């Protein structure tokens, strides 16, 4: 069998190199566009290939051929390959959308010489966070994508964006500091930051210490994922950015946090500690988030609140601690990335058409632009969980897993998620009635919406429908992903075949000198005594 592992670093390396190239080409906007488009297309294809490859076992690359616990490794298992594929498709669609918007608005949309490199860096950061098999490298991935997101959210430095961006940046930096402190604590406890080795060593640590480490990691990831008590930064900061930026943030950035939570709860800290806490947190996130959405009269803010609320569903699935729960949670993540991004893109089009996103001022869009109406309606119903769309399937999976758990908390969450689902439907129907059906208080400007902005949005809506049509195979795939998460062994053995070292070059060096023990004599047993 051909060794395809060289594909694994590409989603990180290609966009990073292309970002440099795009920056160097800042005088040639047309070339810049071609570079970004080509790169992200290749990344999407590579991710899809990894999705297939990872199905027959994790694909591991040891960067620089340094054997695993010493060097950094990238791992594409089913979970990360799936996340990577969905996110690269979304990133590609949003890029096409923003290219069209850039062509329409020129420099008013974004200084294009800045937008393209930053966007590529963001894509590299997301891929790095998903693929990394090393806790510190996940931190680096987070920083790459966050640094890019700081630039994107304050693009062109208007009053509003600086105001909202300040809060966003400060909160994100603080969560990163927290993450770093957690890494330091983990290193002090077990003397490694390699995920596979952590998975072997962490269970040996004193339960109290383990609980502290786990809570710190979850706290850091919880801020990034916008889980309820830590979510207040999100609804105020996202809506101010340009539509494509908000869309890609809403789709991806919080999901990176969710992905990290999944890894923490499955690979690093199996056994369901803190699952009960996460359950309550999930319930609070769902309910508080959706109550916020119901109260909004601005459609972008409304969607930001539904984003927070639906993070609760994913945390619910993770906290169930069963294969069924994880299956549904992973499926829900894939569904939610596409749907939420599509909705934000449509709202960008609505804003373009009507000149506002305030529900008090919009109206009559269904008659004026039936295309936008359809494009809004389908993902909105999908988010609300109307059968037979993918939102419904994901929610049913979660509900089944919740009932299967059978504890009072489980039932409370089942009820909570049904209520949240209904309230989501209510909030979106309210938005639909106000923006699309009622007559506008003042005539809308009815600006032209160019077709090449509608097409990528429509493409994303079609992708979200494809998640429904191909729900069978996809759900089976997430099921296998959840199964291997539960087993843990496939991941660990792929990285460290003998439980000690990977297969890189330094393994041979170690063999030659017949000295296996030099690896971490200084690094181990740091501070846990």
Partner 1 sequence: MSPNLVFVVTIAALFTVGVYLVLERSLTRILLGIVLLGNGTNLLILVAGGAAGSPPLVDVQSDRPMSDPLPQALILTAIVITLGLTAFLLAMAYRSWQLHHHDEVQDDVEDRRIVRLAARDERAFEDDDTESEGESLDEEAASARDETDEGEAFDGAPAERPPPRTDHTHGKEGR
Say if residues 317 and 69 touch (Cβ distance below 8 Å): no
165 touching partner 1, by CB under 8 A:
yes
91 touching partner 1, by CB under 8 A:
no
Quick one: which of 207, 214, 212, 254 has its CA closest to 231? 254
Mark 311-350 with x for binding to partner 1 (rule: CB under 8 A) and - for no binding. Answer: ----------------------------------------
C-alpha span between 255 and 314 (Å, rounded): 9
**In sequence order, which residues have a C-beta less than 8 Å from that of residue 86 and are 6 or more positions away?**
333, 334, 337, 338
Question: What is the dihedral sign for C-alpha 192, 195, 197, 200?
Answer: positive
Return the bridge partners of 60, or none. Answer: 75
CB nearer to partner 1: give 111 or 490: 111
170 touching partner 1, by CB under 8 A:
yes
Angle formed at CA 374 by CA 368 and CA 378, multiple of 5 degrees = 150
504 touching partner 1, by CB under 8 A:
no
Judged by CB under 8 A, the residue of 105, 360, 404, 498 near partner 1 is 360
The piece of 219-227, 248-256, 316-324, 352-360 that touches partner 1 (CB under 8 A) is: 352-360
Say if residues 230 and 220 touch (Cβ distance below 8 Å): no
In the complex, minimum distance from the CB of residue 40 to partner 1, in angstroms, rounded to a whole number: 24
Q: Is 67 left (phi over 0), alpha (psi -120 to 50) or beta?
A: beta
CB nearer to partner 1: give 179 or 392: 179
Question: Within 10 A of 162 (CB to CB), how many other CB atoms are there?
Answer: 14
**CA torsion, ordered 234, 195, 131, 492, to nearest 10 deg:** -140
359 touching partner 1, by CB under 8 A:
yes
Q: How buried is residue 356: exposed, middle or buried, by Cβ count under 10 Å (0-12/13-18/19+)?
A: middle
Judged by CB under 8 A, the residue of 102, 125, 141, 191 near partner 1 is 191
Judged by CB under 8 A, the residue of 15, 117, 125, 235 near partner 1 is 235
56 touching partner 1, by CB under 8 A:
no
CB nearer to partner 1: give 160 or 276: 160
Residue count, binding to partner 1 (CB under 8 A): 61
Interface residues with partner 1 (CB under 8 A)?
136, 140, 143, 147, 150-151, 154, 157-160, 162-163, 165-167, 169-170, 173-174, 176-177, 180-181, 183-185, 187-188, 191, 193, 232, 235-236, 240, 295, 297-298, 301, 356, 358-360, 434, 438, 441, 506, 509-510, 513, 515, 518-523, 525-527, 529
């Amino acid at each position: 069998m051909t060794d395809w592992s060289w594909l694994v670093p590409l989603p990180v390396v290609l966009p990073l190199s292309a970002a440099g190239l795009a920056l160097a080409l800042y005088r040639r906007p047309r070339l810049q566009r071609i570079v970004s488009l080509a790169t992200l297309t290749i990344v999407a294809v590579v991710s899809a290939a990894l999705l297939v490859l990872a199905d027959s076992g994790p694909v591991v690359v040891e960067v620089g051929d340094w054997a695993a616990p010493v060097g950094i490794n990238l791992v594409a298992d089913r979970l990360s390959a799936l996340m990577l594929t969905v996110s690269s498709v979304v990133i590609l669609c949003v890029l096409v959308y923003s290219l069209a918007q850039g062509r329409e608005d020129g420099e008013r949309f974004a200084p294009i010489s800045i937008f393209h490199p930053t966007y590529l860096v963001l894509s590299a950061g997301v891929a790095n966070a998903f693929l990394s098999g090393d806790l510190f490298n996940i931190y680096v991935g987070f920083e790459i994508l966050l640094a890019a997101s700081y630039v994107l959210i304050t693009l062109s430095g208007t009053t509003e964006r600086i105001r909202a961006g300040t809060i966003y940046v400060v909160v994100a930096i603080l969560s990163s500091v927290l993450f770093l402190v957690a890494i330091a604590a983990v290193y002090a406890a077990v003397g490694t930051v390699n995920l596979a080795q952590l998975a072997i060593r962490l269970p040996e640590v004193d339960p109290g210490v383990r609980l502290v480490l786990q809570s710190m990691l979850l706290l850091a990831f919880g801020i990034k994922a916008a889980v309820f008590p830590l979510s207040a930064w999100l609804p105020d900061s996202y809506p101010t950015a340009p539509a494509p930026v908000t869309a890609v943030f809403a789709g991806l950035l919080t999901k990176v946090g969710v992905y990290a939570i999944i890894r923490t709860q499955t690979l690093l800290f199996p056994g369901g500690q803190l699952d009960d806490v996460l359950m309550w947190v999930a319930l609070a996130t769902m309910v508080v988030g959706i109550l916020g959405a119901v109260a909004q009269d601005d459609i972008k803010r409304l969607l930001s609140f539904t984003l927070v609320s639906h993070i609760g569903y994913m945390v619910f699935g993770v906290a169930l601690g069963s294969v069924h729960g994880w299956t549904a949670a992973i499926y829900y993540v894939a569904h939610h990335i596409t749907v939420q991004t599509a909705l934000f893109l449509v709202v960008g089009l609505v804003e373009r058409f009507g000149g506002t996103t305030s529900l008090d001022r919009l109206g009559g869009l269904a008659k004026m632009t039936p295309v936008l109406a359809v494009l809004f309606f389908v993902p909105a119903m999908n988010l609300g969980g109307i059968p037979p769309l993918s939102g419904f399937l994901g929610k049913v999976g979660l509900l089944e897993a919740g009932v299967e758990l059978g504890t009072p908390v489980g039932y409370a969450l089942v009820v909570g998620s049904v209520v949240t689902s209904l309230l989501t439907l209510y909030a979106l129907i309210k938005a639909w009635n106000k923006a699309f059906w009622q007559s506008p208080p003042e005539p809308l400007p009815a600006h032209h919406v160019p077709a090449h902005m509608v097409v990528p949005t429509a493409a994303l809506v079609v992708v979200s429908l494809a998640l429904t049509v191909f729900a069978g195979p996809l759900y089976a795939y997430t099921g296998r992903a959840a199964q291997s998460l539960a087993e843990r062994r496939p991941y660990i053995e792929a990285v460290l075949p003998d439980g000690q070292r990977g297969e890189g070059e330094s393994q041979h060096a170690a063999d030659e000198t017949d000295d296996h023990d030099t690896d971490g004599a200084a690094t181990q047993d740091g501070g846990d005594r």
